[in-house]
Amino acid sequence: MTRLVLLDRDGTINEERNYLSSPDELELLPGAAEGIRRMRDLGLAVVVVTNQSGVGRGYFTAETVAAVHQRLGELLAAGGAKVDAFYVCPHTPDDDCDCRKPAPGLARQAAAEFQADLSRSFVVGDKVCDIELGQRAGATTILVRTGYGAEHEAFAGADYVVDGLPEAAQVIERLAAAECTDA
């Protein structure tokens, strides 16, 4: 079975912007492309799982989110990296859906589409909801200190806490190598 890395978007891959609503506002965090490239080099599928309640609130459209993701793909490609898929929850917290993080709906969808084992996968993000998603999915959780991560570090309950995506890739590489020697 495939192993996944499920990445949060805002504050994890790109600079946190309150309701990012334009591809022109997108800016990668330092080391984001490097970290994602290293994860893929390990043979892992890398997907983005993101809450985008701005759609449900009417701040921007699903087409705007798609344009942001297209631009994100271009910026990552310029750094030699690629994301395999994007999974988006467009709902507001009041919609009571099963796809809004920390609910595991999007993680389960990604696992089904990639024929992945979530218990052997990783969730990386900068918020408590990202870590809770990973816990609910049975994945290994990694909190990055970028975005809101430094504020959430004390109470997120992540398996690992790192500075950013390059360090997250190092943790994943170390865990994958240890698993190979244990097998």
Q: What is the pLDDT of residues 61-118, one digit of tens each?
A: 999 999 999 999 999 999 999 999 999 999 999 999 999 999 999 999 999 999 999 9
Q: Tell me the C-alpha distance between 26 and 74, whole Å.
A: 11
Question: What pLDDT, on a 0 to 100 scale, did the predictor assign at position 30?
Answer: 97
- Told to judge if 41 belongs to the known catalytic residues of this protein, a careful annotator would answer no
CA gap 137, 123 in Å, rounded: 9
| Alpha carbons 63 and 96: distance in angstroms, whole number | 23
The predicted model scores a pTM of: 0.96
Q: Which segments of the chain does DSSP mark as H helices, in order?
A: 32-41, 53-56, 62-78, 105-114, 128-137, 149-156, 165-182
pLDDT at 153: 87
Segment 52-63 mean pLDDT: 97
pLDDT at position 155 is 86
The pLDDT-based confidence of 182 (bands split at 50, 70, 90) is low
Verify whether residue 8 is a known catalytic residue.
yes
Q: What pLDDT is stored for residue 177 in this prediction?
A: 85
pLDDT at residue 9, as a whole number: 98
The mean predicted confidence, pLDDT, of the chain is 95
Domains, the chain, in order of start with CATH, read: 4-182 (3.40.50.1000)
Q: Which of 8, 41, 84, 159 is catalytic?
A: 8
